[in-house]
Amino acid sequence: MGIDMSREIFEVTKDRFHLQDPNCYILQGTWPKEAKMRAIVSVTFDDALVVHDIKVISGTEKLFLAMPSRRLANGTFADIAHPTSSALREELERRVLEAYHEAENQANT
């Protein structure tokens, strides 16, 4: 017997989407200052879905997000979860980087 997918469990609409404050864990202490990975972040959407292991990475010009991924059999990596639109990606990046900077400021005081 399979899962009955004929019933709608929940409906996702643009009007109901809400990204709660990201939970940002700043890597510090024994973590090398020259390391590119700066933080690991979890975000919650609509009190219904959590995405863990979003990484804040220091690029050559700016900070950016790396979505959670897994290694494939051929050695490459594939995202487990990722935004499906550029608008969502930009909003997610803006909110996560704001939380990162707040957490970094608190850690340095």
CB 99, CB 91: distance < 8 Å: no
pLDDT at site 105 = 80
Question: What per-residue confidence (pLDDT) applies to 10?
Answer: 46
Query: Which contiguous run of DSSP H or E holds residue 99?
Result: helix 86-107
Q: What is the pLDDT along the chain (109 residues), one digit of tens a residue?
A: 454 444 444 444 444 455 566 666 666 555 566 778 888 888 887 777 888 888 889 899 999 999 999 999 999 999 999 988 888 888 889 888 888 888 878 777 7
pTM of the full structure: 0.71
Q: Which two tokens stand for residue 77?
A: 């990596």
In a 3-state reduction of DSSP, which class is residue 104?
A: helix
The C-alpha atoms of residue 100 and residue 40 are separated, in whole angstroms, by: 9
Per-residue confidence (pLDDT) for residue 16, from 0 to 100: 45
Q: Which residue is associated with the tokens 């939380």?
A: 99
Amino acid 12: pLDDT? 47
Q: Which residues contact 57 (CB under 8 A, 6 or more apart)?
A: 36, 37, 38, 63, 64, 65, 66
